[in-house]
Amino acid sequence: MLDGKYWIVGRLGTGGMGTVYDGWNLAIGRRVAIKLLHPDQALTHDAIERFEQEAQAAARIGHPNVVDVLDMGRDRDGARYMVMERLEGECLFDRLVEAGPLPTADAVAIVVQVLSGLEAAHEVGIIHRDLKPENVFLATTARSRDVVKILDFGVAKFPAKRIDGRCPSDGEVVGTPVYMSPEQASGGPVDGRTDLYAAGVLLYELLSTRLPFEGDGPKLLTAIATRDPVPIDRVAPWLPPEIASVVARAMAPDPAARFQTAGEFIEALSPFLDQEASQERSVGLGAAPIGRRSTREVPTLVATTAILPAKGRRRRLAWVMATALALAAGTAALVGAQARTDPPAVAPAVPRVPIVAPSRPGASQSCVVPAKPGVAEAGGPR
């Protein structure tokens, strides 16, 4: 029993800053997810502030595409907790691992919902700063599936008064390196266009399973801050040039050349929402399979980690290898069958699927790298 109000049913996940539990609100009989801050983290002011900030951000935004935080408090033993809506479904990273590249219309539908939630956040002056597949949940409700919920505002930037011509957060490198914008990677001032850049990286990855930059640690940050991203039509040549152009604008190194608002980005994507992904089908991609449903709540945790190789990437590489082997076996069987029969008037085309080995070093953790020595914080995966 927690605080005399919540019954703990089971554990959903554990991270560096806390544990998320499956629970019930006894007063109203509602199933909820309860996040408890680890006792050692509760001893640090910064961890407590980040924990409370996550709840305050969700409450201030109040949007269907942002996870709803229902309550926050301390139990009799002093443990700090946060109560969130209980979600059914899977996180976007798991969908990518299982489905591979998504058809254009499916990827756009997801990103448009992400942008809708970001638009609401930006309207109240909140910048997420850590948008990535692990922080996007695809919820299944009684009425629909793949309802996007943005998670984890633990490193979000809130409106702040300027001191001596600068904001207190200026100079920090905060977020997950591979999804950072150039200004974010270099520790410069950030605004809503930083989140729009990350949404562009998200769309890039959904369409190609690749990322625009490779590397890890300081070298990755330097590359993002000083180089142009690899154009998506180079790693996914099957995509229509129109969608490649939208991705390129979203990820323009100069913030002034990007979409200036989430609404503007949504407008550019709207023509692709109802279009059939005919180009992908023509090269054998077809419709992406529906990912395995899971009743696991994705914990919106922040872990204290260094920049380490991402966990779970072996699964995606295994998917690529399995797909390649299956295609090779299918092609061999087809050739053998044709050799035993009279050749048809028109030889059937063998589906060709672009197979690319994903490379996402440093993509599953968040980091907070202070500009000045002596102060160090880190945040990480759920």
* 308: CB partners within 8 A, 6+ apart: 362, 365
* Residues making up the chain, counted from first to last: 382
Beta strands in the chain (DSSP E): 6-14, 18-25, 30-37, 69-74, 80-85, 89-91, 136-139, 147-150, 173-175, 367-369
**Closest by CA position to 301, among listed 179, 158, 153:** 153
* Three-state secondary structure string covering 116-176: HHHHHHHHCCCECCCCCHHHEEEECCCCCCCEEEECCCCCCECCCCCECCECCCCCCEEEC
**Closest by CA position to 196, among listed 240, 242, 256:** 256
- The first and second tokens of residue 16, run together, are 């560096």
Burial of 43 (0-12, 13-18, 19+ CB in 10 A): exposed
User: Which residue of the set 22, 94, 106, 130 is catalytic?
Assistant: 130
> Measuring CA to CA, how many Å separate 36 from each of 21, 25, 206, 307?
8, 15, 32, 25
- The first and second tokens of residue 174, run together, are 């905060």
Query: Distance between CA atoms of 289 and 331, rounded to whole angstroms?
Result: 21
User: Is 191 an annotated catalytic residue?
Assistant: no
Amino acid of residue 52: E
- The first and second tokens of residue 180, run together, are 């950072």
Residues designated as active site = 130
